[in-house]
Amino acid sequence: MATEQELKKPNPLHKEFQNLLDKDFENRKLKENEIIKATVTEITSNYIIVDCKAKMEGMIPIEEFKNDDELSKLKVGSQIDVYLERIESFKGEIVISRDKAKKMKAWKKMEKIFETQEEMTGYITGKVKGGFIATVDGLPCFMPSSQIDVRPLKRVDHLMNTPVKVIATRIDKNRGNVCVSRRAVLEKSKNAEITEALKNIKEGDVVENAIVKATTDWGIFLDINGIDALLHVSDLSHGRVKKPSDLVTIGQKLKVKITKIDEKTNRVSASIKALTEDPYDNIEKKYKVGEIYDGEVTKIMEYGCFVRIDEGIEGLIHNSELDWTNKNIRPNKVLSVSQKIKFKIVNIDKDTKRISLSYKATLPNPWDKIREKKGEVVKIKINNITDKAIFGDLIDSGLSGMLHYKEISYDENIEDLKKFKKHDVLDVKILEIKDDKIKFSKRSLDKDPLDFFKDNNKKVGDVITTRIHEVLKTGVKVSIDKDKKLIVTIRKADLAKDAADARPEVFSSGNALDAKITELDFKNRRVKLSVKAAQIDEEKSLIAKFGEGATKSGATLKGIFEKAIGKKGKKDK
């Protein structure tokens, strides 16, 4: 039996084995987070055991080999790529993954293919919000619903778990997300077919058998020898077309002319009206501006009516050209579709193919008659009352005009508007007609109070006798005429020469008051009176007659008058 001392002695064989083992591991350059080669040593029901040239064998769950039928091809001795996560875990085991290796390999491949836009084969394995999951070389990618086909699909069951060609459209390296598209592959293939088919047609060609595929409100889709083409509603006819579906049916064959081929988008435009002569080319020979013709109303809009003038030619009657009395009248209140009417051509624009017409120009113009009635008395019916005026329609013609509040009475009081209401009938005089606008006057029916001055031959500088109408704090109001229709305010400063006598409170309503006319403006209806000016003029007259002593201190107008009367009496005696 070996002694304790012999056991403690190092065994040369053990040392030699350790050196060989260390040397072998030095040659095995294993790095974590990289893909390494591994050899299958055993296949069990739950794990695939592989040799990674590490201190011990690795174990990979068998679920990581079930995709892409890899498990059926796997056998002992097969070499596979695995992802090395940890060389040695806390349990002393090596941590590897076949699934992560495939994803990393697929990601690197995806980055290269994204730049070249090569097609890849993927499998649509599931549905998520907004799209589908497409697995490409083991890498789950997102395919939006709009990218599964060139047109919306109601059912996609036939595409699930079957190989489909896709192209990577977006890669997010930070999040590890990839978006793919099947639609891009289909469009690419279709565009190649269209490009080849477009070599057989060119702009200006006339196609006899273009087939109607679909119709919309703005055009018709055609099939021209396998090429999709658009026949826009504006290219159907030289005239206005309401709905293309009213003219054609699905499957119908049409004769069209190729008007445009876009080489970048492979879009083809066709036209029917290009096959016929444009009726606008010689329109000026057939129709003259200012002349009246017959037509038929084809369409009524909010802004006016369209009228067929000739085959392929239509004109517009704007709202303002429908009625003489109402420029904003609703077109359906005047005309109706299919109605035969007379119209006058107002303007022809060949460049824009627009013709302006007038319906009211064929009707009697009430403005011509109303201009003859300027200054006459007419009846109006109130249709609106605003803050400063009354608007009314002439009973006999329906034309509208305005009665300003200053033309209601000579007082020019805005409160007069409250005396009237809508639908009242008034007698007014036509004051002015200008630019199809009428001004009425109600006060013109009454005698002007300012005529008092003309009738009595009064002018500026004359002294008149008035009656106090109302006493104010700032002066007094006086009536000039007997009917008290002419009321004038005399300011406090003009009530007397002396300030002590110019107090309004010393005056009483109804008393007579002599005042001088200092301003008389008939145009602006302004009258200004002054008692003070009358007193100054009278004083100057007395001084001129009796001398300056007549105005000395203590002398009054009464004393001067008495003195003058006394002297005169003595002379008479």
Give the separation between CA 70 and CA 53, rounded to whole angstroms: 23
Angle at 76 between CA 72 and CA 78, to 5 degrees: 75
With tokens 């990839």, the residue in question is: 178
C-beta pairs of 108-113 under 8 Å, 24+ apart in sequence:
109/137, 110/136, 110/137, 110/139, 110/168, 110/171, 110/178, 111/171, 111/173, 113/168
| Confidence (pTM) | 0.45
**489's tokens:** 């305010």
Give the tens place of pLDDT for each residue, 237-273.
Answer: 877 777 888 788 888 888 888 888 877 777 888 888 8
Ranges of H-type helices in 180-312? 183-198, 283-286
Strand pairing class (463-471; 340-349): unpaired
**Phi and psi for 63 in degrees, rounded to 5?**
-60, -25
With tokens 């919306």, the residue in question is: 152
Number of H helices, E strands in the chain: 10, 30
Q: Sheet of 512-521: strands edge to edge?
A: 487-491, 475-479, 463-471, 512-521, 526-530
Give the separation between CA 260 and CA 227, rounded to whole angstroms: 13
How many CB atoms sit inside 10 A of residue 186's CB?
A: 17
Give the separation between CA 265 and CA 267, rounded to whole angstroms: 5
Which pLDDT score is estimated for 571?
45
Which pLDDT score is estimated for 8?
54
Structural domains in the chain plus CATH codes? 24-102 (2.40.50.140), 117-189 (2.40.50.140), 200-275 (2.40.50.140), 287-362 (2.40.50.140), 366-445 (2.40.50.140), 451-551 (2.40.50.140)
DSSP string for residues in 72-118: HH--TT-EEEEEEEESS-TTS--EEEHHHHHHHHHHHHHHHHHHHT-
**227's tokens:** 């090429």
Give the separation between CA 164 and CA 533, rounded to whole angstroms: 112
CA diameter of the chain: 197
Which pLDDT score is estimated for 573?
41
Indicate the average pLDDT of the chain. Answer: 82
Name the strand (E) or helix (H) holding 26. helix 12-27
Q: In which residue ranges of the chain is pLDDT below 50?
A: 1-2, 7, 553-554, 567-573
Strand partners, 122: 164
